[in-house]
Each structure stands twice: as C-alpha cells, then as structure tokens.
Amino acid sequence: MYGQGEQMNRVWKGTALLALALLTSMPNAAMAQGVPLLLFDGKTGTEFAGCLNCNRLDDASVCNRYGKFGSRYEETSIWNRYGKFGSRYEDNSPWNRYGPGLRIVDGDGRFYGNFTMSTYDRSRLSIVDQIMRLHEKLDDLEKLQDIMCD
C-alpha cells in the first residue's frame, strides 16, 4: 500500500508527464516559424516583460532562471508571485483573472492577443492556452516553470 506522500508524488509525476506531453506535442504557428513571442505590459504596451518562447539561454527568455525575466526573484519576472508581472493581484500579470495581462507581439509588432488568465482577449496561440490550462490545474508557479522550461 502506498503512503499518502508516495501517492501524491505519483500523482505529481503523472501530472508533470501529461503537462510535458501537452507542451511538446502541439506547437503553435509562431513557434513553428521560429518567431519570438515578446511580452509587454498590457496597459501601455511599452514595458518589456520577456520572451515567451525564446531559448532558455537567451537573456530575454522567461525560461532563463538567472535572467531578469526568468528568475523567481526578479521584480520583472512572470514567475515572481510578488512581482509586477507575476502577482495574481497585478493587472499586468498573466495570472490575474481580471486584468489585461501581457501583450504578445512579434519583432514586427504583430499582435497575437494577450497572455492572461482572463478569457476576454486571451491569445489563441496554443502555447498560451496550454500554459493557462496547466496553471489552473497546478496553481503553482514554480511547478509550472519547471514543466514549461526544463
């Protein structure tokens, strides 16, 4: 018989594998074309918040754990639950259900919708949909970052 801790660990591993399969099996058009998806604040569109799909070694990547936009300790990181882009209470945070979240654009300024929990004006990119579904299921930014970025 499994103990409660072992059972939770098995559930977590199963959830992580399912999440990883979702993230890797459904590439969106922008990722398939190698188009960097750039994040900007939702209110003015002037403050850069990182690159959603850039290589994790890129300084601008939200997956660069040592960078300004990927560290859980940086004010500008979507992974800092107390920061201006990571707190569920900040309008510009993708994790706020009622705010605009972050704007997604490419290098030519093409708008791809918003990276937000709010279903109003949420981007239709599959990567955004997958991240939001995982966030709703996990409700844990550290686990979500681990799944998305590793």
| pTM of the entire predicted model | 0.78
- φ, ψ of residue 48 to 5 degrees: the values are -70, 140
Q: 122-146 as b/e, with b when 16 or more CB fall inside 10 Å?
A: bbebbbbebbbebbeebeebebbbe
Q: What is the pLDDT of residues 85-142, one digit of tens each?
A: 999 999 999 999 999 999 999 999 999 999 999 988 899 999 999 999 999 999 999 9
Length of the chain: 150
pLDDT at 150: 87
Question: What angle do helix axes 141-149 and 4-25 make, rounded to 10 degrees?
Answer: 50
Q: What is the pLDDT of residues 10-36, one digit of tens each?
A: 655 555 545 554 444 444 444 435 899
Q: What is the pLDDT of residues 23-80, one digit of tens each?
A: 444 444 444 358 999 999 999 999 999 999 999 999 999 999 999 999 999 999 999 9
Asked if residue 89 lies in contact with residue 82, where contact means CB atoms within 8 angstroms, the answer is no
pLDDT at 124: 93
* Spatial separation of the C-alpha atoms in residues 146 and 150, rounded to whole Å: 6
